[in-house]
Amino acid sequence: MLRPTRRTTRGSLLVAGTAAALLAVAAPATASTASLYCGAGRGLTAGAAIQGAIDDAQVSASGDGRFECERVGDPQIFEVFDDPNFGHIFRASVTMSCA
């Protein structure tokens, strides 16, 4: 039966330790500090619905201590013709990256 020698054991421990140290240093450097937040809004105009969605996402992000936000991609706008309360309105959804 073959048994590992001290040299083999030390070598494998050295490699494992080096890999763990590199991962510990590299993980924070590659981690993103920004998170994505989705907001929704409605309004009588498309612009008002988009602004409401942006405000919604920013308020959600501020609850997590993230105050600097920028929009990711284009907003999604939906025109609704049969809303029970207002009739014709717009609904919007935006995604914000906040740090």
Which residue has better confidence, 96 or 18?
96
Q: Which CATH number is associated with domain 35-98? A: 3.10.28
Query: For 51-90, what is each residue's pLDDT tens digit?
Result: 999 999 999 999 999 999 999 999 999 999 999 988 999 9
Task: Find all residues with CB under 8 Å of 15, minimum gap 6, and list them.
Answer: none
> Has this prediction a pTM greater than 0.85?
no
Query: For 6-23, what is each residue's pLDDT tens digit?
Result: 665 565 555 555 555 545
Q: CB–CB of 40/89 below 8 Å?
A: no
Query: For 29-43, what is each residue's pLDDT tens digit?
Result: 444 578 999 999 999
